[in-house]
Amino acid sequence: MHALVTGGGGFLGSGITKELIRNGINVTVIGRKKYYHLPPSVKTLQGDIRDYEFVKKSSINIDVVFHVAALAGIWGKKDEFFDINVKGTENIIKGCQANSVPKIVFTSSPSVVFGSSCLEGVNESAPYPYKYLCEYPNTKALAEKMILQANDSSLCTTAIRPHLIWGPGDPHLVPRLIKRANSKRLLIVGDGRNRVDMTYIDNAVSAHIKLALAPNENVAGKVYFVSDDEPVFLWTWINSLLSRLGIPEVTRKISYDNAMRLGNLLEKVYNFLEIKSEPPMTRFLATQLATSHYFNISNAKKDFGYLPLVSQKEGVNRLIRFLKPSLQEN
């Protein structure tokens, strides 16, 4: 088997790549730079998924594509999100069709069904919202729809929605929490009792590979939520982590309504002044920090045998061991 991984140099993509190599599968990674942290047996092709000819050439003699590459974030230009997340995905689909690639596993996001209200134990039947609060979930939803619609007898397409991928080596979620907490810029939004799903990196990697190896008749044209299957109280989890790292816990609060008003104001100001950096609060961030969003993963268990490999407790212990040396150096 020969797998192609887009975004194979990133946190999730490199995890998938390394696990495929450990399982004796040939891997080609495409990205915009060289990735020296990947195993030497990995073939790296430098290019952009917005370039169809590059994608088409990269897809020759490939058995499965893990389409992980995306522009993530809660702030940025609409056109850039669309070009990478939607047009890039369209190029992946067309490249696979042109080269008779039999399977695509698309990394989607639970945010595609997130409007502004709580999602508590919902499954994949949850509808797309009428309106999104930022471009990332909007463009990921458009891409997910394209992926699922491309499924046919010659190309099996399937999508996976891991929520809040975390663990050792995470360059975004936990480092940002620590940075904000250290600078006293982290506030509890709402009543602090919201529950969320998370997905430890090893669990996210395992889910992708299990989905890729599943019989087509089980998964073709379907989308799946995956997680650690242990929803946590978000602010309790954050404060417990901070405490174990020797960082003061977060105690200051802002109401959800005030956070939404502040986010709405800052979005308007940043847009008017054309400020490129991310506002300290947005409406999407406020809803993510204040509402519950956890999911029913029964379909992933049933259709391709997904079960979390690492528990929340063990994952946190591993993360603490990983982070403490670097924090002590600082």
Active site residues: 136
Whether residue 157 contacts residue 329, with contact meaning beta carbons closer than 8 Å, is answered with no
Q: At what angle do helices 135-149 and 88-98 cross, to 10 degrees?
A: 20
Which residues, at least 6 apart from 131, have a Cβ–Cβ distance to it below 8 Å? 115
Whether residue 147 contacts residue 104, with contact meaning beta carbons closer than 8 Å, is answered with yes
Annotate 10-39 with DSSP letters as a single string. SHHHHHHHHHHHHTT-EEEEEESS--TTS-
Q: At what angle do helices 312-329 and 173-182 cross, to 10 degrees?
A: 50
Whether residue 171 contacts residue 178, with contact meaning beta carbons closer than 8 Å, is answered with no
In angstroms, the CA 179 to CA 164 distance is 18
Buried b (16+ CB within 10 A) or exposed e, 232-242: bebbebbbebb
| Other Cβ atoms within 10 Å of 330 Cβ, number | 5
Determine phi and psi for 39, rounding to 5 degrees.
-55, 145
In angstroms, the CA 77 to CA 98 distance is 31
In angstroms, the CA 297 to CA 181 distance is 32
